[in-house]
Amino acid sequence: MIWLIGAKGMLGTHVARLLTEKDLFWTGSGSEVDISNPAAVENFITSTETNYYLSSHKKFSNPKERKINWIINCAAYTAVDNAENDEEKARAVNTTGALNLARAARNHGAKLIHISTDYVFDGTSKVPYTEADKKNPTGVYGRTKSDGEDAICSSMSQYYILRTAWLYGFYGKNFVYTMTKLFNSKDEIRVVEDQFGTPTYCGDLASAILMIIEKSEKATSVFGKNSAPAYGIYHFTNEGQTSWLDFAKKIYAIGKKCGRVTKDCTITGCTTAEYGAKAPRPAYSVLSKEKIQKELRIKIPDWEQSLKEFMSDKRFEIQ
């Protein structure tokens, strides 16, 4: 069975929908299980009861079906600016939580999929970062996520760490919803123009997560002919790159065409220094997807294509 952590968050909800659509055995948790507490993690894994909620309300015919063999960790402390003044809380989730899950997965023979971030890099590169590039986080959030990666790598071998960036999706607050709301309520807004990266639709990342599980399970089955995806660190975002300013302009243009934006708004650029955020951000955090594309044999959609489909979807609802 699959244990999905952060199941009610933006990415977790997208993953949960796919797990249900594929009729897989899964259980999800949010704040009900404190992953910074090793006893709470152990208690959940060893429990023989049907906790929280399951795909299709399935009933287990035998205890073996309750055994967790995959853990997907979508939980994270992502308040980048707040983390600067609350490192303890950020570290509890991003570092200690990752360590506890890795140890529990190792001890119970489960595989771990852990979501990480582009913030493990300092943003000084001029070309897309690869998985082999040296990490150098500049803020508390990035450091706690980087330390979480290290904790996993030193605690177990059967893991997949997926670094991603600039996430948006249907469930929860995100940049696309925020911009759309501002366009419909303001006459002019300012957006940072000197930070570059790649927007990532949660639905595309969720599909990649499920593909890792499916390919691994098929490879280990009696009829498996292909090798499972190699364990390790991978990068996943949509294809292409942009600035926050141009991302906002594209949201506005698409919103005007599909009716999500109903009034005129002027969008102007500002520098990171002028914006004045508390936490440092990488100026350039484009991630190379070559490794995961080869390993999973997938074609990743361009960020503009995924954004257009997202904003045209009937599930689009500003939160």
Neighbours of 200 (CB within 10 A): 23
Residue 141: active-site member: yes
What is the pLDDT averaged over residues 81-105? 98
Smallest CA-to-CA distance from 72 within 13, 152, 150, 6 is with: 6
> Does residue 63 register a pLDDT over 70?
no
Highest mean pLDDT pick, 25-34, 56-65, 262-271: 262-271
- Quote the CA–CA distance of 40 and 32 in Å, as a whole number: 9
The whole-number pLDDT of residue 318 equals: 81
The whole-number pLDDT of residue 52 equals: 46
> Band of the pLDDT at 55, cuts 50, 70, 90?
very low
The whole-number pLDDT of residue 59 equals: 58
Find the farthest-apart pair of alpha carbons in the chain and give their distance in angstroms, rounded: 62
The whole-number pLDDT of residue 271 equals: 98
CATH numbers and ranges of domains, the chain: 2-173+199-240+285-301 (3.40.50.720)
Smallest CA-to-CA distance from 239 within 114, 315, 128 is with: 128
> Does residue 54 register a pLDDT over 90?
no
Smallest CA-to-CA distance from 66 within 51, 85, 83 is with: 51
In contact, 68 and 1? CB cutoff 8 Å: yes
> What does pTM read for this prediction?
0.94
What is the pLDDT averaged over residues 132-141? 98
**pLDDT tens, residue by residue, 252-284:** 999 999 999 999 999 999 999 999 999 999 999
Neighbours of 265 (CB within 10 A): 18
What is the pLDDT averaged over residues 74-87? 97
Catalytic residue among 141, 171, 177, 284: 141
